[in-house]
Amino acid sequence: MKFDTPATPNPIDRLRVVGKPHDRVEGRLKTTGAATYAYEHHSVPSDPAYGYVVGAAIPKGRIKSIDIARAKAAQGVIAVISHENAGPLAKGEFYTQRFLAGPEVDHYHQVAALVVAETFEQARSAASLVRIDYLKSDGSFDLEAQKRTAPVAKQGPYGGPTETAVGDFAGAFAASAVKLDETYTTPDQAHAMMEPHATMAIWEGDKLTCWTSIQQMNWGTRDLAKTLGIPKENVRLISPYIGGGFGGKGTAQSDLVMAALGARAARRPVKLALQRPLMFNNLIHRPATIQRIQIGANLDGKIIAIGHESLSGNLRGGRTEPTTLSTRALYAGANRMTRVRLAVLDLAEGNAMRAPGEAPGMMALEIAMDEMAEKLEMDPVRLRILNDTQVDPEKPERPFSSRRFVECLETGAGQFGWSNRNATPGKVRDGRWFVGMGMAAAIRGAPISKSGARVRLDSGGVVTVETDMTDIGTGSYTIVAQTAAEMMGVSIDKVVAKLGDSTFPETPGSGGQQGAPSVTAGVYAACAKLREAVAQKLGFNSVDLVFADGEVRSGNRAVPLGAAAQSGDIIVEDFMEYGDLAKRFAQQTFGAHFAEVAVDSFTGEIRVRRMLAVCAAGRILNPKTARSQVIGGMTMGIGAALMEEMVVDTRFGFFVNHDLAGYEVPVHADVPHLDVIFIDELDPTMSPLQAKGLGELGLTGVAAAVANAIYNATGVRVREYPVTLDKFLAALPDVT
Amino acid sequence: MRSFTFERVTSAQEAAAKAQATPGAKFIAGGTNLLDLMKLEIETPQHLIDVNGLKFDKIEKTEDGGLRIGALVRNTALAADMRVRRDYGVLSRALLAGASGQLRNKATTAGNLLQRTRCPYFYDTNQPCNKRNPGSGCAAIAGYSRQLGVIGVSEACIATNPSDMAVAMRALDAEVEIIDASGRTRKIPIADFYRLPGDTPDVETALSSGELITAVTLPPPLGGTHLYKKVRDRASYAFALVSVAAVMQRDGTGRVAVGGVAPKPWRIEKAEAELRVGAKPFSARLLADAKPTKENAFKVPLVERTVAAVMHEARQK
């Protein structure tokens, strides 16, 4: 099926199942521990061996020699794999890192060796017996040091152009009545998901099957096959449940590659989970940024010049952190400039993490807007409303498909009690606490991609859906089941959703918040085909056919749906692909975040008191799972604002705080009551479901809203995330 | 994790004797810290002596009206004990400010006293660390030192003691009861229990080889207002940037020990004379010899401000 004209009325519009707050269909399995994650498929192979990774002990240099004799001789050890015996490894398409060091070492904790043994304990014990001699060489670890020298990046497949210019930015900025020119920094961040990267690999002849934890199944098969130099058809990946990914499990990484190599060498199934302290320097992360924002406005608050320059670093060949994406689309202004530069750093690879580019970009831009509002003596909500645009500010001939940004701002301000905010910072006290309010905009692109599904109807009227979509805790199972139920006119308990198997029809998986709109459109297409097959089988030929209550009806005739499969299951497959609507319309999701924080006037401790997000993201397929995604984003934003930072030791070249004690993420006590409001919206340019993703929207802008609230509470502006008390303690009033 | 041998013991003297006689032996009780360190091969004991079978799980009154806390009393039980809550509130509060419910259920009184530092370089066996690998150097002093010590530190080590419980016990002037291999017992005031790093940061306590902690005793109740304030970047489940254990009297006198700043709970009794003057002169005296790094210099004013917060709270009670 091809979607190339805006949506017209269709079976989804009945909203009997879609749009309802259904519980997660797999929720019971997860809360009772019955859902099997990658490391937990105990029954599949009867005799798995266990792998344990030895990470490189240096950040840059080469392995001079590697002595595996003692490890090999240790009790229970089956194989020890290093670059000397692994055979040639190529690169996948998405990541630039190499998954096995040797002889060159590219970054700290890159895999230097894998020990495979009969038990986990034997593998771990023998890992310490692998003797590696390194020759260290100088590396580059300091982003700040390359502030002046790093070149403008080449445009890659993601993130858009690295330089944009509209009008005369420099001239307009210079001539602006009110100007802001500030620099903001965001740190390296870890995904820090609960479930570590884990894989169980099994070879049968030249066919490889892996139970793993990966967000994009077809990227995973592609990249693993390329890395190993085998045909993609020979690789099957299975990821039915994923214990958090946040972009950190996009495609094949070291656990998958090393488990496959280990299983090949051991001629046994091999289970491998990366040990937590290795994950931070071994896997991808969100890279640190240094961002300069310039905004020029007239006295009335209209922006006439907006500029955003950004620097991040990466391994050679790695991609940029495209922080300027949102600045290109969020506010009006005739004169515009963005520029993204890229430094080479010998740290672990920087790559996708929830709202890549947009999350750190908005951390900077939305503090800048708060500062601009103050310079203009204008309310921050008002300033944003004033600079709304209904057309792509870079291409005025291209309208937004839907943009209810102003409604998000106004609804949020009203519901949050924004009018009670004292615009003068440091003036509101509650006992020994300074109290402040802050807000920020939210914006995140709304991509949608070709996505397929296979549906089967049996004689009991049960509809089984298969796609290679994944559920990373987001609710994919549930919205897939809801879509099929709506299309086929059955209740949700008559639908079986099967996900996370690379042999199922291809979807773009979970990433870039395109999973929900894409997969549901694919299920729509397959179900539309199934409806035709059912109609034909049952001998209906009218166009007024209704699928409802488990029946197929036309005029006075009603037949149970399952009757169509009396003589055998009906199986059809289809996909949804797209025309040029995304070119003709700027497709984005919008929102507004509001936060109230308290800052201890003695110690500077920051506690978020309440938060509200208002989101406009097309049709909300399931308000319950959608809300969970947004409050998850808000929680992550609290972490970004207040605590999350992988600290680089620029002498020794690694992220120092590489475990969950050192890398702090919010705990329950940090997260207050969070409210979410969805603006009633349909976007007919997206798909027949008129829905957009929102898992990443919920994160963009959150950290800035918190930072702006801290400023409003204390009067101290911090432009270096995370906003920790040591950065403003000296500026607080004396208390002794 | 390296292979090790394991045994259970039934008497304290037997435990101490076996520990002294067996090279590379360590005691294990709750294991909440030791097992993690063994998995990372920061600790590589060849032999573990499980002392959980010893009957040191009681909290009893002492003859002078204080409390004797058995070495194996779990942190949860100690924090919840009615006598501790009533008479030694600072201890209860400090315990509850530490770790998580699950960890406190396992962690013991003696084990808490002996937990190792959380310096990130100590935790990474590829990095130099004089405490883990004497003579290898200190990566922390010129590195990521935000969490680390500002006073009592040396050129060799700036690690902090991570215990909350010990800070409260220092404010209370607890004593540590010990038995050795010959069955001799002795008491060490908590003020003397921890050693400053000097040139030997690997030597952390006054315990000799084989010595086993059997109990911690508290003096008779001190009265006053008991407060424990722990400042950290997140609201729970984090080690202190700075913590203050205080027992404040109505007349403005008091006892104040500070955590998160030194290799041991930091208390200078002479400085407490300044408490009646204010947090600023008290803190100035307490931290007069501070040698912070650029990254942790904020701890010096933070101590002053946290002491001020505690004094403010005490006045309001």
- Give the pLDDT confidence of A167-183 residue by residue, as tens digits: 999 999 999 999 999 99
Q: Is the pLDDT of residue B314 over 90?
A: yes
Closest Cβ–Cβ partner in B40, B237, B302 for A603: B302
Spatial neighbors of B277 by CB under 8 A, at least 6 apart, are none
pLDDT in tens, A7-33: 999 999 999 999 999 999 999 999 999
Residue A520 has pLDDT above 90, yes or no: yes
Q: What is the pLDDT of residues B58-111, one digit of tens each?
A: 999 999 999 999 999 999 999 999 999 999 999 999 999 999 999 999 999 999
Kindly list the distances between the CA atom of residue B315 and the CA atoms of A496, B87, B91, in Å, as whole numbers in the listed order: 64, 19, 20
Spatial neighbors of A433 by CB under 8 A, at least 6 apart, are A598, A599, A600, A601
Query: What's the rounded mean pLDDT across residues A320-347?
Result: 98
Q: What residues contact residue B5 under an 8 Å CB cut-off, 6+ apart?
A: B46, B47, B48
For B300-310, the pLDDT digits (tens) are 999 999 999 99
Closest approach of chain B CAs to the CA of A666, in angstroms? Answer: 7
Instruction: Give the DSSP per-residue string, A709-732.
Output: HHHHHHS----BSS--GGGTGGGS
Question: What is the helix (H) or strand (E) element at residue A518, kind and residue range?
Answer: helix A515-538
Hey, what amino acid is at B128? P
Structure-derived torsion over alpha carbons of residues A396, A402, A405, A410, reported in degrees to the nearest 10: 130
B187, B64 Cβ separation under 8 angstroms: no
The residues facing B244 across adjacent strands are B229, B258
**Alpha carbons B238 and A666: distance in angstroms, whole number:** 10
Question: How far is A528 from B95, CA to CA, in rounded Å?
Answer: 62
| DSSP letter for each residue of B242-270 | EEEEEEE-TTS-EEEEEESSSSS-B--GG
Confidence of residue A43 (pLDDT cuts 50, 70, 90): confident
pLDDT of residue B142: 97
Question: In Å, what is the CA distance from A223 to each residue of A111, A200, A528, B136?
Answer: 18, 17, 33, 41
Task: Of A333, A336, A338, give the one whose Cα is nearest residue A311.
Answer: A338
- Residue A326: which pLDDT band, with cuts at 50, 70 and 90? very high
Q: How many CB atoms neighbour CB A13 within 10 A?
A: 16
Read off the pLDDT of residues B134-179 as tens digits, 9 standing for 90 and up. Answer: 999 999 999 999 999 999 999 999 999 999 999 999 999 999 999 9
In which band, very low, low, confident or very high, does the pLDDT at A46 lie, cut at 50, 70 and 90? Answer: confident
Q: What is the pLDDT of residue A277?
A: 97
Helix, strand, coil abundance in chain B, percent, nearest 5: 30, 20, 50
Mean pLDDT of A193-204: 97
pLDDT of A543 above 90: no
Q: Which amino acid is at A91?
A: K
> Which regions of chain B does DSSP assign to beta strands (E)?
5-8, 25-28, 47-50, 59-61, 67-70, 175-179, 185-189, 212-218, 225-231, 242-248, 254-259
- Which residues in A have their CB inside 8 Å of a CB on B? 57-58, 121, 124-125, 128, 277, 432, 600, 602-605, 607, 642-643, 647, 649, 651-652, 656-659, 661-662, 664, 666-670, 722, 724-726, 729-730, 732, 735-736
Q: How large is the average pLDDT for residues A136-162? A: 96
* Alpha-carbon span B139 to A652, nearest angstrom: 9
**For the whole model, what pTM was predicted?**
0.98
The residues facing B68 across adjacent strands are B60, B217
List Cβ neighbours of A265 (8 Å cut-off, separation of 6 or more): A78, A79, A81, A85, A116
Residues 6+ apart with CB under 8 A from B32: B99, B103, B106, B107, B111, B115
* pLDDT of A325 strictly over 90: yes
Query: Stretch B270-290: mean pLDDT, rounded?
Result: 97
Mutate to test the interface with B, among A599, A649, A670 (most CBs of B within 10 A): A649
Distance between CA A341 and CA A359 in Å, rounded? 17
Contact A656 B121 (CB under 8 A): yes
Distance from CA of A725 to the nearest CA of B (A): 8
For A369-402, write each residue's pLDDT tens digit.
Answer: 999 999 999 999 999 999 999 999 999 999 999 9
Q: List the domain boundaries for chain A.
A: 2-35+448-580, 398-445+587-731
Q: Do A652 and B279 touch (CB under 8 A)?
A: no
Specify the pLDDT at position A258.
98
Decide: B231 and B243 in contact? Cβ < 8 Å: yes
* Chain A residue with the nearest C-alpha to that of B277: A736
**Alpha-carbon separation of residue A336 from A166, A330, B169 (angstroms):** 5, 12, 62
Q: For residue A643, what pLDDT is reported?
A: 98
pLDDT attached to residue A332:
98
Per-residue pLDDT at A483:
98
Q: What is the pLDDT confidence band of residue A306, given thresholds at 50, 70 and 90?
A: very high
Average pLDDT for B22-26: 95
Reported ipTM: the value is 0.97
SS3 for A257?
A: helix
Neighbours of B60 (CB within 10 A): 12
Is the pLDDT assigned to residue A542 strictly greater than 90? no
A525-534 confidence digits (pLDDT tens): 999 999 999 9
What is residue B276's predicted lDDT score, i.e. its pLDDT? Answer: 95
Using 50, 70 and 90 to split pLDDT, how confident is the model at A460? very high
Q: With an 8 Å Cβ cutoff, are B233 and A643 in contact?
A: yes
Q: What is the mean pLDDT of chain A?
A: 97
**Residue A165 has what pLDDT?**
98
Helices within A330-390 (DSSP H only): 358-376, 380-386
Q: Which two tokens stand for residue A41?
A: 């498929």
> Are both A2-35+448-580 and A398-445+587-731 of the same fold?
yes
Q: What percent of chain A has pLDDT over 70?
A: 100
Q: According to the model, what pLDDT value does residue B14 have?
A: 96
Query: Catalytic positions of A, please?
Result: 696
pLDDT of residue A541: 84
B144: chain A residues, CB-CB within 8 Å: 647, 649, 656-657
Mean pLDDT for A606-610 is 98
B59, β-bridge pairs: B69
Q: How far is A644 from chain B (nearest CA, A)?
A: 10
Please tell me the CATH code under which domain A2-35+448-580 is placed: 3.30.365.10
Q: Which CATH number fits domain A398-445+587-731: 3.30.365.10, 3.40.190.10, 2.40.50.140, 2.60.40.1250?
A: 3.30.365.10
Per-residue model confidence (pLDDT) at position A29: 96
